[in-house]
Amino acid sequence: MTAVTRDLRAAAARTDATVIGQRWAEALRRRYPADAAKAIARDFGCEVRTARSWLAGQAPRADALALGAVLHGPQLVAEVLMPEATRDAERRRIAQAIEDVGQTIDELRRRLGGTA
């Protein structure tokens, strides 16, 4: 492996860690809006300093990510590692909710005598 290849791989790894860290921080902030660092430290059994570093964008270790899945469900891991899948699922959920509301409106109209 050449020095250039090593440098490129190292840069890619840093970028991945940065992106993962940012997503992790965002996911935690959504779940812990108040007193986040203390609540995260309590739930994850880590130091407040560690929780603060996560909120600042430090990527979690695999064990913390796995514990996050236990504490908050696999959706947390999906948000961090596969945000595009999470967005697609959210779009499907919203589309289904809109369809459900439309069906409810149609049913209510029928009950009221078919007015449109």
pTM summary value: 0.64
Instruction: Please state the domain extents for the chain.
Output: 3-81, 83-116
Rounded CA gap, 97 and 47, in Å?
A: 40
Query: What is the reported pLDDT for 82?
Result: 84
Residue in this structure with the two tokens 């812990």, named with its chain if needed:
32
CB atoms within 10 A of CB 66: 12
Average pLDDT over residues 96-110: 91
Query: What is the reported pLDDT for 4?
Result: 55
Residue in 74, 91, 62, 61 with CA at minimum distance from that of residue 27: 74
Q: What are phi and psi of 61, to 5 degrees?
A: -75, 165
| pLDDT at residue 7 greater than cutoff 70 | no
